[in-house]
């Protein structure tokens, strides 16, 4: 399968839910969260840490991972908006250049000397 090909999952709710579930399981974030929670829970059960440490650790890890996920989403949206703005600026510059090129070729709008140069303002002959 080539990289540009997309896999068709299905249209039913359960097929889509199952595919989302599988793709989520592949995620490194999920494995990091599961491992951190399992290890900290093991330590809590065996009295190596107390409840406050367990709560602080798990809350911090979950908040960091989901917080960074949101930061990356915001950054991606900002990049897309900047690309669209840049593309609009490029399109307007091309349009302006096209208009200027057309006005230079139109003999009714510009005056030219005998050598073909454009007369600007009131140049003497």
pLDDT digits (tens, 9 = 90+) for 63-98: 988 888 888 888 888 888 888 888 898 888 888 888
User: What six digits make up the tokens of 26?
Assistant: 């592949």
Q: What pLDDT score was predicted for residue 121?
A: 64
User: What six digits make up the tokens of 57?
Assistant: 């650790």
The rounded mean pLDDT for the chain is: 79
Of residues 77 and 1, the one with the higher pLDDT is 77
Query: Which residues lie closer than 8 Å to 9 by C-beta, 6 or more apart?
Result: 15, 16, 19
**Is this model's pTM higher than 0.75 or not?**
no
Domain spans in the chain, listed from the N-terminal domain onward:
13-107
Q: Is 87 helix (H, G, I), strand (E, B) or coil?
A: helix
């Amino acid at each position: 399968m080539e990289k540009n090909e997309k896999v068709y999952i299905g249209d039913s709710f359960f097929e889509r839910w199952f595919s989302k579930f599988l793709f989520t399981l592949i995620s490194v974030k999920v494995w990091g969260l599961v491992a951190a929670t399992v290890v900290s829970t093991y330590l809590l059960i065996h009295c190596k840490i107390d409840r406050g440490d367990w709560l602080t650790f798990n809350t911090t890890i979950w908040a960091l991972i989901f917080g960074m996920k949101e930061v990356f989403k915001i950054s991606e949206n900002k990049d897309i908006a900047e690309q669209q703005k840049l593309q609009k600026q490029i399109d307007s510059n091309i349009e302006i250049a096209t208009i200027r090129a057309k006005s230079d070729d139109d003999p009714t709008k510009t005056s030219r000397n005998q050598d073909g140069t454009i007369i600007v303002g009131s140049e003497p002959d």
